[in-house]
Structure 1
Amino acid sequence: MITFLSSPKAFSEHTGKIQRNAIRSWLAVHPDTEVIIYGNSEGTADVCREMGVHHVPDISYSPSGVPYFNSIVEHARIYARHNVQCYLNCDILMTEAILKAIKPLEFPRYLIIGQRIDLSEGVDLDVTAGNWKEELRRLVEQGKANMHAPSGMDYFIFPRGVWEGLPPLVIGRGGYDSALPAFCFRNKIPLINGTLAIIAIHQFHDYGHLLGGVKEVLYCTDAQNNRRLHNVYYSVSNSVDAQWLLVNGASILNSIQKDRLRRIELKLRFDMEYEFLSKVVRLIWRIAKATKIIRPKWFTIKDILNLLEPGR
């Protein structure tokens, strides 16, 4: 079974609505699902009482007041009921597909990441309803649900205790999501692409809670520290780089997204620590991509709809 971990924004207006939707979807995954909510954003304590989920307000924060990922996963390592844990943003809807995805994993350590589906502004989807698959298909046909690029990583599934030795990392700021795959590469932790097994749906929101908007998320002091401490200034990793792929209830080698130049770059950078050579290979890769010699394989919304066919 699984424990969901998250640190929400203030539960106000539209943000409060989508965050409640997200938590409700996690609780519906299985009767024994555990949800732990971290931080002291406005309304969090009341919502946790209302929805019957655990609330942990006392965690470590950066000087700007944003929670550290390290503090969250360390608490979960000690106190969470389940060994399999999923940290995810509090606007992400999850379905019961996640349970099937985590069953075949034979690795003692791993990280599962994947692409998400984006809902358009003003679109609601209740994944706890019996007809949610049909509704998602309808939204796709109307152009109101689309696949996000691999660069957007909103969920991270891992076993208890895998983050020992992780340098300080501030959630929700630039460099945060790419730092986790980089840590896995450096520490020989298998990286698994869960896109074809896990239906993760992102509800639309703006960045009105931040004075600087998206720019603040990407370039604030916390973001600069994330990139510096984790050395993720360039060529950031995402689900396309995963060595393994979850398909039809099994973990297989990721030959679908095989990119030899990229694999060489990652080996030089993380295994051999030849950073300059890795940058040279990266430059060659960019040229090859620009001239369409290399065409990186992303999964599309059609790939996801195939998963929703009856009997799959």
Structure 2
Amino acid sequence: MKPLLTLFSAPKPFDREHIALIQRNAIRSWLALGEKVEVLLLGAENGLAEVAAEMGVRHLPEVARNEQGTPLVSSIFALARDAASAPYLCYVNADIILLPDFLEAVEAILAQTPDDFLMVGRRWDVDITTPLETTEGWAQRLRTFARANGRLHSSFGIDYFVFPKAAYADMPPFAVGRAGWDNWMIYHARKQGWKVIDATQATTVIHQRHDYAHLPGGQPHYRLEESQENIRLAGGRSHMFSILEANYTLSDGKVRRLHRPHIALLRSIELGLQRRGYPTSRGGLALLRLSRRLQTHFRAT
């Protein structure tokens, strides 16, 4: 049976115990989605080849890198597109557990809008410290646990993208695992006139919490110079779109247009400020944070 969806990811090195645990958990959850999904792992990070062989997953090591040695998103996407058997692709971060409702959401979207779309959604941040066992009832147990013990992340964290295979064939040389490129993905889709579909209501996507010890200086990715370069390559901060820029939603199995002018007004103010130079004063940053909280509040109502 030909798969419907190719999931691809560029994991971190497997040389730290907790990172290795959560990445194995993520891969197990993807494989548990069944024969409609194929999985590709990309990169030459420590331990990746061994994990791919152990789990029976195809491994593509020849990813191009920047001067700092960070894999390039454009190379990851091109290699995955060339290797994929499925007509639709999904890039997903390697710490993300997907449940069967994810594939159900993809199928619901494809039944209604098979072309020119991007599916995104918010994640649940959850502390997970044990290996995932995909025994009977695992998905419902984990969904219940995540919603009881986790926290729904803001619309500015984007951990997966589902799109037709032909999309994103021409990308800037973004550094993976750094800020900015994920925001550009949504900006590009909106600029092309595609439907950007927020699947948050239809899915429970689980982000396994971790520290940033794998990054230079142990800093969060958004503080790194490579993130600033990603933002420059994306066209500047005014192109830093989020899930708030989704113009459609998936709920109750239906793709519906979103029309919330109060969110559009707040975002236009924020983006206008950013075009004139990103606020650095305490008052300017406080204004941006208030704007984002209001946008998230209005999206939830």
Which TM bucket (shorter chain)?
Answer: 0.7 to 0.9
Q: Does 1:24 align with 2:31?
A: no
Q: Which runs of 5+ in 2 are unaligned?
A: none
State the match for 2:124 in structure 1. Answer: 117
What is the CA distance between 1:265 and its match in structure 2?
A: 5.9
What is the CA distance between 1:168 and its match in structure 2?
A: 1.6
What is the CA distance between 1:46 and its match in structure 2?
A: 0.6
2:13 paired residue among 10, 19, 27: 10
CA distance in 1, matches of 2:260, 2:30: 30
CA distance in 1, matches of 2:33, 2:42: 20
Residue-pair matches, total:
289
CA distance in 2, matches of 1:292, 1:20: 33
1:261 paired residue among 260, 265, 269: 265
Contact preservation (8 Å) 1:182, 1:232: no
CA distance in 2, matches of 1:113, 1:257: 21
What amino acid is the match of 2:158?
M
State the match for 1:152 in structure 2. Answer: 157
2:232 paired residue among 224, 228, 235: 228
1:232-254 Cα deviation digits (max 9, x unpaired): 42573111210011112221102
CA distance in 2, matches of 1:298, 1:24: 35
State the match for 1:78 in structure 2. Answer: 82
SS of the equivalent of 2:11 reads: coil
TM-score by structure 1 length? 0.81
Q: Which runs of 5+ in 1 are unaligned?
A: 270-274, 304-312
Q: 1:153 to 1:291 in 2, by over 3 A?
A: closer
CA distance in 2, matches of 1:218, 1:288: 16
Question: Following superposition, which runs of at least 4 residues in structure 1 exceed 3 angstroms of deviation?
Answer: 121-129, 138-141, 255-258, 262-266, 286-300
User: Percent sequence identity over matched residues?
Assistant: 31
As a proportion of its length, which structure holds more helix? Answer: 2
TM alignment of 1:129-140, pairs within 5 A: 129-138=136-145, 140=147
CA distance in 1, matches of 2:298, 2:29: 26
What is the CA distance between 1:118 and its match in structure 2?
A: 0.7
CA distance in 2, matches of 1:210, 1:153: 19
What is the CA distance between 1:88 and its match in structure 2?
A: 0.9
What is the CA distance between 1:210 and its match in structure 2?
A: 2.1
Moved more, 40-49 or 247-256: 247-256
What is the CA distance between 1:134 and its match in structure 2?
A: 3.8
SS of the equivalent of 2:216 reads: coil
Contact preservation (8 Å) 1:26, 1:35: yes
State the match for 2:206 in structure 1. Answer: 201
What is the CA distance between 1:174 and its match in structure 2?
A: 1.9
1:37-77 Cα deviation digits (max 9, x unpaired): 00000011011110000100001111111111111111222
Contact preservation (8 Å) 1:94, 1:127: no
What is the CA distance between 1:202 and its match in structure 2?
A: 0.6
